[in-house]
Amino acid sequence: MPPTAPTAATPVALTRRARRVYRELALLYPDARCELDFTTPLQLLVATVLSAQTTDVRVNTVTPTLFARYPDAAAYAGADRAELEALIRPTGFFRAKTDSLLKLGAALVERYDGQVPSRLADLVTLPGVGRKTANVVLGDAFGVPGITVDTHVGRLARRLGWTTEDDPVKVEHAVAALFERRDWTALSHVLIFHGRRTCHARTPACGACPLVRLCPSYGVGQTDPVKARRLLRYERAIEAPA
């Protein structure tokens, strides 16, 4: 059994171990990126709103038609509710999401001349937009570093011993303190990739994870290498640790 990483004794040790984890994940997932399809900040904002309680894959099946039908904020503001609901129904919670998109379009038109703002303080004032959504848009549409604390990032941050907090904002601040600002967006991507493919919520594939010597939570999941590999959701094989 691989040794379990000890809890960092000092902030310096914690930071060093966290950054080593990031380097390992960056090597494991060199193509990590936002998995929502988009070409403009508005498209990413809308797609992120739709991604709540569903998968990016499901959102990507809906957005080509949606984006063609509603090319700008004014189109969302003036959308027919029934038509919009029908288009986004496959993403789930379509009535609430429709309400958010109608209000979002109106707010963008009224406050920002139809343009998506590029500041966190402005983004979080928009209907249906919290810090998680705002950081996705900032990082991937505007190139402004941000940490996206979704369920994967929060779970991995706790399992890796970076924080004990459950509140997403507190998790965001705790993780941000461990890394260079320039790495925040890329860090979010690799954590999300690892959470989706290896470090699952219910049964993480511990025995097939390259972070076993860096992770204080090794053993919470399947440790048998053969069984763990069956749990992987990644397009290429990941070598089980020796």
Sequence-separated (6 or more) residues with CB below 8 Å from residue 15: 178
Kindly tell me the sign of the dihedral angle through the C-alpha atoms of 127, 132, 133, 135: positive
- For residue 132, indicate whether it is catalytic: yes
Marked catalytic residue, from 97, 140, 150, 183? 150
Give the angle subtended at the CA of 163 by the CAs of 142 and 122, to the nearest 5°: 30
User: What distance, in Å, lies between the first and last C-alpha atoms of the chain?
Assistant: 9
User: Cα separation of 72 and 48, whole Å?
Assistant: 16
Structural contact between residues 43 and 67, judged by C-beta atoms closer than 8 angstroms: yes
Marked catalytic residue, from 97, 132, 140, 183? 132
116 token code pair: 């998506």
Structural contact between residues 66 and 75, judged by C-beta atoms closer than 8 angstroms: no
Give, in order, the Cα–Cα distances in Å from 37 to each of 99, 118, 202, 226, 229: 22, 19, 28, 34, 29
192 token code pair: 């999300």
Sequence-separated (6 or more) residues with CB below 8 Å from residue 226: 207, 240
DSSP run (H or E) holding 20: helix 11-28
- For residue 150, indicate whether it is catalytic: yes
Residues annotated as catalytic (active site), given as ranges: 132, 150
